[in-house]
A and B are shown apart, each in its own frame.
Chain A
Amino acid sequence: MILEAKDLNYYYQDGESRRYILKDTNATFEKGKFYTILGQSGSGKTSFLALLSALDSPQSGAIMFSGKDIKQIGYDKYRRNNVGIIFQSYNLIPALTAVENVLVPMSITENEIPEDKKTVAYNLLDYIGIVKSKADRLVNKLSGGEQQRVAIARALATNVELILADEPTGNLDEEMEQEIIDIFKKLAHEHQKCVIVVTHSNEIAQQSDQTFHLKKGVLSSHE
């Protein structure tokens, strides 16, 4: 068990009343598995993922990483050393090339990174499907699918075991979507990462090892 949500409560204050997104939610995630979180628009998938990635904090309950409360690890430290996050809108730095974008987290993390960072970055990109000529391009000169690949490479750059992705294929066509999903499967099954992907696509959910449904504050699991 690499990640665990313990009695999570998360709500938005709506005037006088509270609108619960997560109510007494529990969930566990293992290494080597590909998880999907499914739910309707507005059900709170992004909110949940933000909690798991320490970009937000719950009103009560805890998130445990390898048995340790991420609050204790420190949110910033947890993000730079333990988790790779992939967003729907890629969130790459436009002034930098693809390979430079991948290099950014390498200088932020405290994890051990091989001496020759640039080679590592090129290799990572190549593995994800970005050849060298594209790796040296400014990222806004790449297609959406290519940009999301760069974002995945960036999430992997710090050599973390936990990958969180919020609708990573939301802006891509089906063919591209499948290629990205294949990468996630490979990362989970071949590289023993824990991959958690938020989606509202049933096709993606069907390909995962375990799916969580989020509905009205309740998270239910289907193997």
Chain B
Amino acid sequence: MNFFKRAILSITRKKGKSIILLAVIFILGNLISGAISIQQATGNVETTIKEKLGTAATVELDYEAIEKMDESEMMELEIEELDLELIKQIGELSYVKYYDFSTSTYLGSETIKSYQGEGMEEEEVMYEGPSMDFMLKGINHAPIIDLEEEKGKLVDGRVFTPEEVENGAPVAVISKKLAELNNLHVGDNFTLINEVYSFDESNGEDKLVTSRDLVLEVIGLFEPKAVKNDAEESEEGMYDFMDIEYQNTIYVANEVVSSEMRYNMEEYMKVDEEMAAAMGEEEITDYYTPLFVLNKPEDTEAFEEEVQPLLPQYYKVTNASDQYDSIAAPVESMSKLSGYVLLVAVIATILIIGLVVLLFLRDRKRELGIYLSLGERRSRVVGQIVIEVMIVAVIGISLSLFSGNLLAQSVSDTMIDAEAEKQNSEEEMYYSELQTDVTTDDVLESYKVELDPGYVGIFYLVGLLTILVSTIIPLIYIVRLNPKKIMM
């Protein structure tokens, strides 16, 4: 009849009390289990989504800060351009796996058609003015970062050679859809047109001044990586738009882009004398947008810290994972809420179980006194009570492991729906080089309350530890028991 056996007998002989304790632990266990389930699920979302967002970083204008300025500040605002040397300097930092800088422009074409979405009947949209069907995207990093970072993948042909990039060779990588639409193959040439318009202030119309052709040879075909489910397409106007934009992107060397931009600017200035006068002798500089791909997601903070001081005023470092906070807002708010619930549930459990056990122990005061009068060590009497509580706790917690998880699933379903609705109206968007096609929908999709081993482990740990702590109050009671007073 050692203390362990006594504990077992005590549980089985006093079923009423054991069941009451079990019920209390089960109910509180559900709260803890639910909260941990949600925490675990949101934690998983964070890793998945941050992984999806990648380790890209860029340096761009701090639009939010500029937006907040009042008018007088705005008037004095002078924005320096980002120096190419600085971009290269940042690119050499140890955190950077590879980097690129890019300049881009839009050109039209008279010979090839642009992709306008799947299944859409080709409606000839006739409009005056510069045609901007194709985005000419310059690159400096020959293998094309977009393809290396799996925004798209090369399905035919090849990427650039360093020499082609260096010399601004007239070669291009285009999307497979665009190629199919225009019956283009690797090795074929196609023609874009660079049109220079002037704006007539009297009638508000654009007028074609001059133009030149740009002939490019197709060296490779790419396909966007994220091909979405057709069924969803209707509700994803934004996604469609981004997809179309990407399908009509033509990768070329930066030099190709800047040469076209220079041509356009020079021709324009011939017409617009005012502007030419304003520009004076100033050289037309190219504006590059940098893109840095870091080695590890953990590097983002260190990278940001090191780069920020190097930047001109009004610029800031933007990481791809920065967007996590905005796209994952509904999940984040749930994570926060479940954190509070967890804290409250743990504290409540410690108090409630502590008091329930204490109440039961007062009933058993005589029994405890008997053990002590028989010379039993207080530590073993304490041990017996802890074992009794923990055995019931293991059962109660195991039961709530499943039910709490189910509870969390239905609670978070409701909350996510509510949050997602709120989300749509609130979002403010700024254009960013790192615009991602990972949306709040992706976040919600990757949110899954599951019975994974991590959750089970953490829940048992937190649950049992909480119950263990809750036995401290009653144990103080045992330690202070005086057997003489009880027995004699």
Q: Are A80 and B488 in contact (CB under 8 A)?
A: no
Interface residues of A in 45-68 (CB under 8 A from B): 46, 49-50, 53, 55-56
- Say whether B373 faces chain A, with CB atoms less than 8 Å apart: yes
Known A93-B367, A95-B10, A100-B1; judge A80-B374 contact (CB<8 A): yes
Set of chain A residues within 8 Å of B484, measured between Cβ atoms: 50, 55-56
Give the CA-CA distance A79 to B487 in the complex, in Å: 14
Q: Which one of B3, B13, B372, B377 has the greatest number of beta carbons of chain A within 10 Å?
A: B13
Size category, A interface: 20 to 34
- Say whether B371 faces chain A, with CB atoms less than 8 Å apart: yes
- Say whether A103 faces chain B, with CB atoms less than 8 Å apart: yes
Q: Are A105 and B367 in contact (CB under 8 A)?
A: no
Say how far B361's CB is from chain A's closest CB, in angstroms.
Answer: 14
Q: Are B367 and A80 in contact (CB under 8 A)?
A: no
Give the CA-CA distance A85 to B375 in the complex, in Å: 11
Give the CA-CA distance A105 to B370 in the complex, in Å: 10
Say how far B7's CB is from chain A's closest CB, in angstroms.
Answer: 11
- Say whether A131 faces chain B, with CB atoms less than 8 Å apart: no
Known A46-B488, A107-B1; judge A91-B373 contact (CB<8 A): yes
Q: Are A105 and B10 in contact (CB under 8 A)?
A: no
Set of chain A residues within 8 Å of B377, measured between Cβ atoms: 76
- Say whether B6 faces chain A, with CB atoms less than 8 Å apart: yes
Per a CB cutoff under 8 Å, which of B9, B483, B488 touches A166? B488
Say how far A112's CB is from chain B's closest CB, in angstroms.
Answer: 16
Q: Are B483 and A109 in contact (CB under 8 A)?
A: no
A84 — nearest CB in chain B belongs to which residue?
Answer: B374
Give the CA-CA distance A88 to B488 in the complex, in Å: 8
Set of chain A residues within 8 Å of B14, measured between Cβ atoms: 95
- Say whether B369 faces chain A, with CB atoms less than 8 Å apart: yes
Set of chain A residues within 8 Å of B5, measured between Cβ atoms: 107
Say how far A46's CB is from chain B's closest CB, in angstroms.
Answer: 5
- Say whether B376 faces chain A, with CB atoms less than 8 Å apart: yes
Say how far B377's CB is from chain A's closest CB, in angstroms.
Answer: 6
Q: Are A105 and B374 in contact (CB under 8 A)?
A: yes
- Say whether A147 faces chain B, with CB atoms less than 8 Å apart: no
Set of chain B residues within 8 Å of A95, measured between Cβ atoms: 9-10, 13-14, 367
Set of chain B residues within 8 Å of A108, measured between Cβ atoms: 371, 374-376
Known A93-B370, A95-B13; judge A109-B375 contact (CB<8 A): yes
Per a CB cutoff under 8 Å, which of B1, B9, B376 touches A80? B376
Q: Which one of A55, A89, A100 has the greatest number of beta carbons of chain B within 10 Å?
A: A55
Per a CB cutoff under 8 Å, which of A80, A94, A96 touches B375? A80
Say how far B374's CB is from chain A's closest CB, in angstroms.
Answer: 5
Known A104-B374, A109-B375; judge A87-B10 contact (CB<8 A): no
- Say whether B425 faces chain A, with CB atoms less than 8 Å apart: no
Q: Are A91 and B376 in contact (CB under 8 A)?
A: no
- Say whether A6 faces chain B, with CB atoms less than 8 Å apart: no
Say how far B55's CB is from chain A's closest CB, in angstroms.
Answer: 63
- Say whether B366 faces chain A, with CB atoms less than 8 Å apart: yes
Q: Are B375 and A77 in contact (CB under 8 A)?
A: yes
Interface residues of B in 367-398 (CB under 8 A from A): 367, 369-377
Give the CA-CA distance A49 to B488 in the complex, in Å: 10
Set of chain B residues within 8 Å of A29, measured between Cβ atoms: none
- Say whether B2 faces chain A, with CB atoms less than 8 Å apart: yes
Set of chain A residues within 8 Å of B367, measured between Cβ atoms: 93-95
- Say whether A11 faces chain B, with CB atoms less than 8 Å apart: no
Q: Are B488 and A50 in contact (CB under 8 A)?
A: yes
Give the CA-CA distance A78 to B372 in the complex, in Å: 12
Q: Are B373 and A79 in contact (CB under 8 A)?
A: yes
Give the CA-CA distance A81 to B376 in the complex, in Å: 10
Give the CA-CA distance A187 to B365 in the complex, in Å: 31
Known A55-B487, A55-B488, A166-B488; judge A91-B366 contact (CB<8 A): yes
A56 — nearest CB in chain B belongs to which residue?
Answer: B484
Give the CA-CA distance A89 to B374 in the complex, in Å: 15
Q: Which one of B14, B374, B376 has the greatest number of beta carbons of chain A within 10 Å?
A: B374
Give the CA-CA distance A93 to B371 in the complex, in Å: 9
Interface residues of B in 464-488 (CB under 8 A from A): 483-484, 487-488
Q: Are A91 and B1 in contact (CB under 8 A)?
A: no
Per a CB cutoff under 8 Å, which of A91, A107, A109 touches B487? A91
- Say whether A106 faces chain B, with CB atoms less than 8 Å apart: yes
Set of chain A residues within 8 Å of B483, measured between Cβ atoms: 55
Give the CA-CA distance A101 to B59 in the complex, in Å: 79
Say how far B112's CB is from chain A's closest CB, in angstroms.
Answer: 90
A80 — nearest CB in chain B belongs to which residue?
Answer: B375
Q: Are B375 and A91 in contact (CB under 8 A)?
A: no
Set of chain B residues within 8 Å of A81, measured between Cβ atoms: 375
Give the CA-CA distance A103 to B13 in the complex, in Å: 17
**Contact mask for chain A residues 16-56; partner B; CB cutoff 8 A; 1 contact, 0 none:** 00000000000000000000000000000010011001011
Per a CB cutoff under 8 Å, which of B2, B9, B376 touches A96? B9
Give the CA-CA distance A81 to B375 in the complex, in Å: 8
Give the CA-CA distance A46 to B6 in the complex, in Å: 30
Other contacts beyond A55-B488, A93-B367, A96-B9: 7, CB < 8 A:
A76-B376, A91-B366, A104-B370, A105-B374, A106-B1, A107-B5, A108-B371
A/B interface sample: 12 pairs, CB < 8 A: A50-B484, A53-B373, A55-B488, A56-B484, A80-B375, A91-B370, A96-B9, A96-B13, A104-B371, A105-B374, A105-B375, A107-B3
Residues of chain A having any CB pair with chain B under 8 Å: 46, 49-50, 53, 55-56, 76-81, 85, 87-89, 91-96, 100, 103-109, 166
10 closest A-B pairs by CB: A80-B375, A79-B375, A103-B1, A55-B484, A107-B2, A95-B13, A105-B374, A104-B1, A107-B1, A108-B376
